[in-house]
Structure 1
Amino acid sequence: MGRKVTLATCSLNQWALDFQGNLSRVLKSIEVAKSKGARYRLGPELEICGYGCADHFYESDTLLHSLQVLKELMQSPITTDIICDVGMPIMHHNVRYNCRVLFLNKKILLIRPKMLLANYGNNREFRWFSPWTQPRHVEDYFLPRMIQEATVPFGDCVLSTIDTCLGSEICAEMWNPRSPHIDMGLDGVEIFTNSSASYHELRKAEQRVMLVRSATNKSGGIYLFANQKGCDGDRLYYDGCAMIAINGEIVAQGAQFTMDDVEVLVATLDLEDIRSYRGERCHPHMVYEPKHYHRVKVDFMLSVGEDVSLPTNQPIRWRFHTPEEEISLGPACWLWDYLRRSGQAGFLLPLSGGVDSSSTACIVYSMCVLLYHQVLEDVQRVVGDTSYRPEDPQELCGHLFTTCYMATENSSESTYSRARELASQIGSYHINLNIDMAVKGILGIFSMVMGKVPQFRVNGGCARENLALQNIQARVRMVLAYLFAQLSLWARGRPGGLLVLGSANVDESLTGYFTKYDCSSADINPIGGISKTDLKSFLQFCTDHFHLPALRSVIAAPPTAELEPLANGQVSQTDEADMGMTYSELSLIGRLRKISKCGPYSMFCKLIHTWGESCSPSQVAAKVKHFFRMYSVNRHKMTTVTPSYHAENYSPDDNRFDLRPFLYNTRWSWQFRCIDDQLLLPPLNGSLNVANLVDL
């Protein structure tokens, strides 16, 4: 009997409700897997309909079309003589489940529903699905007549081939403290599979690799991890990272960021390595519950004939991307998916010469570098020229990317020069224009109606006048950005329109340090989930990696909105002075607010220790109070914020990732009084006496 098995897992760029495209990509992955000798193929979670269908899961059409695709898959000659493991929604006893469907040679072998649903972060699976709550329980499922007139096992069961035993996990089940692979391993299952739709966050890949390795490190076994890739139609980017492991070691690594729609990972592994591993480490200690997993037996082997000479995959060292590389690659791939699926001809960015807009420009340039090396046919379709072949990424950038510097009398020569030099180095089509005439025209209308002329603070105006005059400039830029996005290609004799890119970072969103409906209002924003600190490191990376010396002056310059009058030709307004705290302080506060679930009082209690060497308790209290006032006053802006690439787990993205109110009592009277009472308590052992809420 053979003992070496060849298995395939994959990453697919599926798109919500794109049943035809999804079917083609699934078939291609199976074809590639078979061509490499695989006898089993695993695909991503809900790959048939797409993971991001959201409330479309309520529609009977989604269930119907998923079944139709399944029928086509089963009838295709491509799927013969290989066990195909696909993901789709299934209705059983009028309850909707997120399922794996395993079939072989036109017959469904079993349906395994998801048992532990993801309901945190961006995931809302309980909204659309029910978990299967009966461990090791199996029922008959009556197949629809369009598939076949029969019943198949439905529930928590495993597949038993002639030579081994295979069990399924689905995405979040691997992250759970009581993962199914633990009990399956104790019951003799040798191959574990995980079909996932795990989205990208900075520094998250290491967690996945650690979990996959640990799943088989304790009790041995083979682990296959499949994942969605690309933009599924929302703010998330699914970043692939398919992998195969055995006995705690990774033996095959898929790409984390790639423009390819279909990536198939195949490995040949020896079942005897699992049995030897378990025999030494686990046999004396293995105790199992009396109730075993129901085994669905199939007359099929994952190994083939005499395989002594067949080489097996050996352990490899995983190569992780740095956070700067992740920022360069993830949003770039997301932008490309959005562009080619939206039917538009490129992007337009208001480029101010600051860190945020320059980072956005560099991400678009990174996209062009990836496209230049990988996907010519799609590029030709977007630019509307089947004969187009770019000479280099800069030329491609000139076709796809328009940048626009919108000057006012408050703009400095330095920001103008930085924007122009960066545009020149990346190759974007660059426009310089002055918007003073439009700003004065709007002010003229107001003055004619109201009979008063507002002034900047430096000219004797009040705070309200000063803010209104800044907002006019910002909102005029938004109007002009959309005008040029719609008509600039027309004026140049080219077809199509442009998507407007926003460039507000995650820290500015936290405090609301942007004008509602200004040029931060755009079609999409690739940096809306990235901190200012990470963006500065990213620009340093781009300086060296893409050879863009213009970025050195961008990094060195203090962030500024340039909306107030200059002082002797120099910028007098800076972002950090306006916000009353530094960007590094904001990043820490953002993590405490979202990840650590801190309100004002508990945040104060943590920060008096974190900032104890640089701030007194009263200074910490002032910073915390200032943040929560800004946060609550400006929280309403998040209801209209541009859809942003999700990259950071302290994102304040309203009603998607961060479910909090947008109308607050901005005085926070009870919470701030708790902080003030704490400041009045005598020190304990030389430090502030931090009592808990009960003591207060």
Structure 2
Amino acid sequence: MKELNYIKICASSPKLKVADCVYNTNEIICEIGKALEEQAEVVVFPELSITGYTCGDLFFQDLLLKECEASVEKLVEYSIDKDILIVVGAPISNRGMTFNCAVLINRGRVIGIVPKTFLPNYNEFYEKRWFASGRVNMDETIDYCGMTVPFGTDLLFESEANSDLVLGLEICEDLWAPVPPSSNLSLGGAAVILNLSASNDLVGKSEYRRSLVINQSARCLAGYVYVSAGYGESSTDLVFGGHSLIAENGRLLEESDKYEMDGSRITSEIDLEIINHDRRNSSSFSDTPKQKYRRVKFYTESKACEIHRRHNSHPFVPVREEERNKRCEEIFSIQTSGLAKRIEHIGSSSMVIGISGGLDSTLALLVCVKTCDRLGLDRSMIKAVTMPGFGTTDRTYNNAVGLIESLGATFLEIPIAEACIKHFDDIGHDMSRHDITYENTQARERTQILMDLSNKFKGIVVGTGDLSELAMGWATYNGDHMSMYGVNASIPKTLVKYVVKWVAENAVEEKTREILFDVLDTPVSPELLPPDEKGGISQKTEDLIGPYELHDFFLFNTVRYGFGPEKIMKITELAFEGKYSKDTIYKWLRQFYWRFVSQQFKRSCIPDGPKVGSICLSPRGDWRMPSDASFGMWMRRMDKIREEGSYS
């Protein structure tokens, strides 16, 4: 956990009895034990969890308040030898007022008490009858459980073992306020917000509550742990479902089932490194005025334990089909809108595009076709060119021809073999040597043809290369690397196929659809080496540079979150458990770093192209990196990983 900089937090909503502090405290202790078994560092309970939220005028009873304090004392004693931070809800009286509070307990001490700021007093809520807002009390400490305890809404709680772990507290309605306390707590340094809540259930409220938590975690660039009261609260007028959520920077990590009669509990890890990275990158976050907060220390040891957090092996691709289809539709719309603007701006008479029968050129052609349709232009203005060479196979050739014809683009075929042979002769290259000169000659010959045709037809060359190829430098400099507008430039390889699939299923005729599905089933290849003895593709890209699903995973976590090699190795093993061995992951991660850093010179001069997602390598936009940066730092880290992990 420490090497990943995760904090494991448990949100527990135990079954309770209203106004029975002894029963509730025993349930809380039982839940703390389960959190310890899961090796959580923090366990959070609902609002007023010791007494129950629905006590009503019983909060005026001195007996209830004294029973509650005795229960907190019992938790303090229980916590002496427990390696965990415990956060419970309790009513606490001070200076003739009662406050709805979060009480933090760590290793035999009450380390802090945070009162609720915003008290709901509308509809079914009547809190101002019983409680005072935390803003009215001016004392910085309170005497409680025989201790002088920091008290107030200006408290942050910092781990002695990990300075990145800083917690802020708010209570239920605080989140519903126009400016929630968590906004200022996060600006003050809180990496994780804990919300003790008692939010009753109404039709549609769960969706709204979930949206609030996710969006507040995104605005605050923080982890957000929300735990609500559940079964056992009074059902006189309301029902509480025990809805708990754990979110991080706009992403929902865990969510509990509701209406569980024995209570509910969720546990997940919040990635503090992601939070730090995103805050460093956000100028809006750093520019916002900040309040001063008192910091209270607590101590828990980071544990080497089982990780609950799920790691999506394809981070660019939504897991749910419905969401994935929406993503693909939006990407396709962004591509066509970008190309349409470029065509209108320059008054282009044609779009020239090389078609290989592979995925990337297929998607780019589909974008060209849709652009024509949106602008009311005849599809014949698309000059789709096949340029068969030494490695072209019948399968890709036939798919290219069939696709062009079925879509109504203008078909052109210009073989490149003779021109390449003449060029080999001109430069004195033995064409039996299938080296980089042999391969790149073909790529540059094709680019020259496309560029010259764009002059002839008064148009532009539409580029087909994708984000994964740019990241790996898997393009011939001034060959397929070059165009006049690159419509696929920010779409990773693992996502390209889903966009093509979406178009096949939603935007083309049956004949075209059949071709597209065969393209989707074709191995990725530049087809620059001769076919095998059976006429099939002999040069498969992923055999040479590694699986694109691994490289896209490396790319996402390197660029989006700034993770280092050790962490990427570990989360890759988790994400692809059972599919790739550690040695395989190590091999291709090392290859990724070498290529990603050394091939920046190709990205420094790429053509314009639309950004479609959170990661883009345009030198004019998201990624500014010197072309002559050394990759030595990454190689040394990889050497260290090999030595410590015995990787081959």
What TM-score does the superposition give when structure 2 sets the normalisation length? 0.48
Report the structure number with the largest CA radius of gyration. Answer: 2
Question: Given the two structures, how large is their TM-score scaled by the length of structure 1?
Answer: 0.45
